[in-house]
Structure 1
Amino acid sequence: MAHHHGHDHHDHDHGHGHDGHDHSHDVTPALQSNLYKQIDFDKIITLNEAERRSGEGIVKKTWAQRLDEKPELESDADEQLLMSIPFTGQTKLHSLLIYSPPTPSAPKTIKLFRNRPDLDFSTASDLSPTQTLTIPQTLTGSTSDAFEIPLNRSQFNATTSVTLFFEDNWSDGEEDVTRVLYIGFKGDFTALNREPVTFLYEAAANPRDHTIIQGVQGVGRTIGQ
């Protein structure tokens, strides 16, 4: 894809003069089992985002675009964010991919909820998450890159959506804006096969429909006489 090298011009990509080597080395492993094409982008919901659809925007970034400065997700009223990310079928999540500039605005605690797209901030605060992650903060400048954080795979079988609750950031309460540049996932994907469901429905429904239609016609003739 032509845009795979779109982030090379950023100073913070690789600071040691071997961009090409690092780039070719890190893209291929990251694309293995990447669930990018299995995310239902149009149904992503982000609460407390400062700019509308910016949550969707950072998930829509490809791996090659992960360090691009825009779009950026920023929290609005306080440091918390809540993102519901649906998939187009069943997934078994292996890891979370995340990049945020290494500043106090970087997220610190993320609570993940499996198959709970209905959460708001109140319920996300009260319920026990499927897994809680502490996001590392690096202050190494030009060498910073996306993190791949392993998930408890046994807890994320048959995942059709994942909700991320960004509970706080690295400012210890002093910075009420949380910033995130990239979110992605790795795992296994199983497409939802609807053919058996359709077949079973038709097999059960056709005789019944036929009977109902006959009955209605019979009643109609009786009433009409």
Structure 2
Amino acid sequence: MSGHGHSHGGGCDHDHDNPEDMSAAYSLYQKIDLDRVECLNEVTDGSGKTIFKPWAERNDRSRFVESDADEELLFRVPFAGSVKLRGVSLIGGEEDTHPKSLRLFKNRPNMTFDETGSTPDQEFELTRDESGTVEYSIKAAKFNNVSQLCLHFPTNFGAEATKVYYIGLRGDFMQAHREEIVVVNYELNANPADHKNILSDHASQQIS
């Protein structure tokens, strides 16, 4: 994979003493179109979408995704509307399976590993976090009107495979409005047969 420079986003510790506040803050998982979530290079098909779960269930170790051929993972996450992303948190795997960096791309439908060499919209160096206590702050100006988010984990801390238990997304959601277009077909040219029927009826009335 081609080399690239890193631009570091700020990660900051948060006080998680109030679980209800954090559950409300990290509720964007409810706005993800889970049926269309895809994770490339996952060992088990469909396992990638299971890590987008409620804050209260973030420590559920029964649901996780693990990379297959190498340490890379690429998530394609569509939303049910438009999102203004504000923060990301995650729980990585044990020891060296924890991802080391995260690259975010917005509105790149059907993105593949071949496209991950391009410049991301934001990039983070990750710290080992097995409890989800670190939030990585998003540049809000760059992540307005996000309809699809791609999360690329290019490396981990040295293991052959990468493991992730939880990804939390914080931000604002706007429902997509679909405008219905009503098409009215007007008959511009009258049907000659209709005129014949009208004339016939008129003639019959005069004869009678």
Aligned equivalent of 1:57: 50
Aligned equivalent of 2:165: 181
Number of equivalenced pairs? 179
Tell whether 2:202 aligns with 1:210.
no
CA deviation after TM superposition for structure 1 residue 218, in Å:
3.6
SS in structure 1 opposite 2:95?
A: coil
Aligned-partner residue type, residue 41 of structure 1:
L
SS in structure 1 opposite 2:116?
A: helix
Aligned equivalent of 1:48: 41
Tell whether 2:103 aligns with 1:111.
yes
Aligned-partner residue type, residue 47 of structure 1:
L
CA–CA separation in structure 2 for the residues paired with 1:219 and 1:67: 75
Q: CA RMSD in A?
A: 2.1
**Is contact 2:103–2:152 with CA below 8 Å preserved after alignment?**
yes
CA–CA separation in structure 1 for the residues paired with 2:192 and 2:153: 61
CA–CA separation in structure 1 for the residues paired with 2:193 and 2:101: 66
CA–CA separation in structure 1 for the residues paired with 2:124 and 2:94: 17
Unaligned runs of 5+ in 1: 1-21, 139-143
TM-score w.r.t. length of structure 1: 0.73
1:95-174 alignment, distance < 5 Å: 95-125=87-117, 127-138=118-129, 144-146=130-132, 147-171=134-158
SS in structure 1 opposite 2:50?
A: helix
**Is contact 2:100–2:156 with CA below 8 Å preserved after alignment?**
yes
Between structures 1 and 2, the one with greater helix share: 1
CA deviation after TM superposition for structure 1 residue 220, in Å:
8.8
Task: Describe the superposition over 1:172-207 as per-residue Cα deviations: whole angstroms up to 9, x where unpaired.
Answer: xxx22000000120101110122xx21xx22xx32x
Aligned-partner residue type, residue 93 of structure 1:
L
TM-score w.r.t. length of structure 2: 0.79
**Is contact 2:93–2:162 with CA below 8 Å preserved after alignment?**
no
Tell whether 2:61 aligns with 1:69.
yes
Task: Describe the superposition over 1:82-121 as per-residue Cα deviations: whole angstroms up to 9, x where unpaired.
Answer: 1001110001000112111341110011111001122100
Aligned-partner residue type, residue 66 of structure 1:
R
CA–CA separation in structure 1 for the residues paired with 2:169 and 2:64: 18
Larger radius of gyration: 2
Worse-superposed segment, 29-38 or 127-136: 29-38
CA deviation after TM superposition for structure 1 residue 31, in Å:
2.2
SS in structure 2 opposite 1:160?
A: strand
Aligned equivalent of 2:6: none
SS in structure 1 opposite 2:144?
A: coil
Aligned-partner residue type, residue 111 of structure 1:
R
CA–CA separation in structure 2 for the residues paired with 1:115 and 1:90: 10
Aligned-partner residue type, residue 54 of structure 1:
S
Structure 1 ranges of 4+ moved more than 3 A: 217-221
Aligned-partner residue type, residue 57 of structure 1:
T
